[in-house]
């Protein structure tokens, strides 16, 4: 959310969040986010956040050319990393404080920023198999809720995700 809000507010573009860790602009991936953490006795011991924003790439390798974009391609601006970092850290701090006091506000905001959160066709590949259905938002823990054919609902905390809109 912090990345999406920063890109929207500072660079006046329309980012979208693809669960669980991608920021899309114009349907193409502009940013990937990874979090590694350790949980002990139901408490987070530490979390390491990695955020990779494509800033100055004007060309991409053939295998990702159709699915990747960058800030220079979307805005026409060559953005220095420090120019993005300061507002991004401010947004991260904001959401860190919010999650400590009102976790449900984080889930609600994520769903507002993601056109994929509700009523989107999805295929998820996990270690347990491949599941196809329609997204139904997030659980309070951030798992993606998917309504499967037949009406069953399943929650996913991770997996390789293919999201589609429209008639696909």
Does the pLDDT value for residue 20 go beyond 90?
no
Q: Alpha-carbon distance 68 to 25, whole Å? A: 9
Q: Domain residue spans in the chain? A: 2-113, 118-164
Name the CATH superfamily housing domain 2-113: Bira Bifunctional Protein; Domain 2 (3.30.930.10)
- pLDDT of res. 166: 45
**pLDDT band at residue 127 using 50, 70 and 90 as cut-offs:** confident
Nearest to 75 by CA among 86, 83, 67: 83
pLDDT of 136-166, one tens digit each? 999 998 899 999 999 999 999 876 677 665 4
Look up the CATH architecture of domain 118-164: Roll (2.30)
- What local confidence, expressed as pLDDT, does residue 102 receive? 94
Q: What is the mean pLDDT of the chain?
A: 91
For the stretch 73-111, pLDDT in tens is 999 999 999 999 999 999 999 999 999 899 999 999 999
pLDDT value at 49 more than 60: yes
Residue 168, pLDDT > 60, answer no
Q: How far is 88 from 96, CA to CA, in rounded Å? A: 12
Q: What is the full DSSP assignment across the chain?
A: -HHHHHHHHHH---EEEETTTEEEETTEEEEEEEEEEEEETTEEEEEEEEEEE--S-S---TTTTTTB--HHHHHS----HHHHHHHHHHHHHHHHHHHHH-HHHHHHHHHHH-TTSEEEEEEEEETTEEEEEEEEEE-TTSPEEEEPTTS-EEEESS-EEEEE-TT-
Q: Are 95 and 106 in contact (CB under 8 A)?
A: yes
Q: Output 15 or 47, whichever has higher pLDDT.
A: 15
């Amino acid at each position: 959310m912090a990345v999406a809000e920063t890109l929207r507010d500072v660079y006046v573009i329309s980012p979208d969040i693809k669960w669980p860790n991608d920021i899309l602009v114009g349907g193409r991936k502009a940013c990937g986010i990874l979090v590694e953490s350790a949980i002990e006795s139901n408490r987070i011991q530490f979390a390491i956040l990695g955020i990779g924003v494509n800033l100055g790439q004007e060309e991409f390798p053939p295998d990702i050319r159709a699915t990747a974009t960058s800030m220079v391609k979307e805005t026409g601006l060559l953005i220095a990393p420090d120019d993005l970092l300061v507002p991004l850290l401010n947004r991260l701090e904001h959401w860190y404080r919010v999650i400590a006091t009102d976790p449900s506000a984080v889930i609600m905001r994520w769903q507002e920023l993601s056109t994929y959160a509700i009523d989107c066709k999805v295929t998820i590949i996990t270690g347990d198999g491949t599941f196809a259905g329609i997204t139904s938002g997030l659980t309070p823990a951030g798992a993606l809720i998917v309504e499967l054919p037949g009406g069953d609902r399943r929650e996913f905390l991770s997996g390789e995700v293919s999201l589609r809109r429209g008639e696909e």
